[in-house]
Structure 1
Amino acid sequence: MNLHSILFWALWAVWIIMEIVVNLRARSLRKHSSAATTKADHGSVWFIFGGMYILILIAFFLSMTGIGLMPTWVPFVGNVVMAFGITMRYSAITQLGRYFSSTVQIASGQTVIQTGWYRKIRHPAYTGGWLIAVGLGLGLDTWVGTVIIAVGLFAIYLRRIRVEEQALVSHLGSSYSHYRQNTYHMFPGIW
């Protein structure tokens, strides 16, 4: 096993473990919170999980069959992109604290977070997740798989963001509407 492979699988393991830990922690915080929550997910959590893993499986298949291979240095770039995405995703989730949930839920007393990553973008955890998946595609050494992941996951997050922002505007009102006017969805300066 070469250095890239070791780093790739280590990052993969870190990502999966962190997803499990974060989601268990979020459930625990919500369960022990006395504040009521409003659920507004509309099944988008399953759309994200199912869609993301299907896209990743496609990239794995393309990599194993040698479709769209890239120069040998590109997978190392993929490892860097994955590491940055992991860092971004989990620091954004940490900033949300008890307000984070894998499903769209608004907690009683929830406020708009506008610090850290949230100063410029409204959904940095999604940006981090997108970077992790794109880095994974690069790490699998398939440009075709990387493009499929990038476009497919962006479309999935687009749907989720619409659901989430509708719920946030509905429950947080003008404070969230004002925040939307001064920030980007996922990519500073782009969208």
Structure 2
Amino acid sequence: MNSLSSVIYLVWFLSEILLHRILRGGDQADKKKQDKGSLAFIWIVIIVCINIAAIVAIKTPFIISPGPLMNRIGLSVILLGMLLRFVSIAQLGRLFTVVVTIRKDHHIKKNGLYGILRHPSYAGSLLSFLGFGLSVNNWLALAIVFIPVLSVFIYRMNVEEKMLTAQFGEEYTDYMKHTSRILPWIY
């Protein structure tokens, strides 16, 4: 691993820790504790899978592409994912929290990235995990990090969409019909 990789991994990881610490939600009027343990589950899966993928990348010969190009592509994808995540958080503004919560005066965001995707922040995060898998340049490591993380994010999206449907009813189900979850016009 080169120093650029180390810096980007560190910035990515620290940005997620800061988001978790700063954007938890906490207004007394918020409806809390709706995430059904999904946030803790996501963190456990992420930490386990990243560590296993890093070991697998070092110990196995399943190279995606020889040379440094795949590492650079992967690092670029991590940065692109971070950018998508930060832009989506900024667009959602005070309604964004890392826990599944209905904020006071909550409404459904339907413009910007949220006019296309219901979960652009998750899409950005998943893009970064895909980038990590690519950056270690190993097919098996890519699968080990991306598939379980995608699975726990899908679980999280199910929890969140169920809560939002319960809160907003037909308005949210109509919104779901006109947007994709994380991949524009596909999923």
Give runs of aligned pairs for residues 68-83 of structure 1, distance below 5 A: 68-71=62-65, 72=67, 73-83=69-79
Output the CA distance in 1 between the equivalents of 2:4 and 2:88: 23
- The residue type paired with residue 138 of structure 1 is L
1:17-166 equivalence runs, <5 A: 17-27=14-24, 30-31=25-26, 33=27, 35-71=29-65, 72=67, 73-166=69-162
Contact 1:39 1:106 in 2 (8 A): no
State yes or no: 1:187 paired with 2:183. Answer: yes
Cα shift at 1:52:
1.5
CA contact (8 A) 1:67 1:144 kept: no
- Higher mean C-alpha deviation, range 77-86 or range 57-66: 57-66
TM-score where L is the length of structure 2 = 0.91
2:53 maps to amino acid: A
Distance (Å, rounded) in 2 between the aligned partners of 1:60 and 1:34: 41
Deviation at 1:19, TM superposition (A): 1.3
Aligned length: 185
Residue deviations 1:86-111 (CA, integer Å, cap 9, x gap):
10111111222222222211112101
Q: Distance in 2 between matches of 1:154 and 1:25?
A: 24
In structure 1, the residue corresponding to 2:102 is in which secondary structure?
A: strand
| Residue 3 of structure 2 corresponds to residue 6 of structure 1 | yes
| Conservation of the 8 A alpha-carbon contact between 2:30 and 2:101 | no
Task: Note the alpha carbon deviations across 1:98-134, whole angstroms, 9 max, x for none.
Answer: 2222221111210111222111111111111111111
Query: Residue 174 of structure 1: which of 167, 170, 174 is its match?
Result: 170
| Structure 2: runs of 5 or more not aligned | none
Q: How far apart, in 2, do the equivalents of 1:9 and 1:119 lie?
A: 35
Matched residue of 2:97: which SS? coil
Distance 2:185 2:143 in 1: 21
Report Cα offsets for 1:63-93 as digits up to 9, x if no partner: 1213312322211110111110010111111
Amino acid at match of 1:157: F
CA contact (8 A) 1:99 1:110 kept: yes
- In 1, Cα distance between equivalents of 2:185 and 2:145: 22
Backbone CA RMSD of aligned residues: 1.6
Amino acid at match of 2:124: G
Matched residue type, 1:125 = S
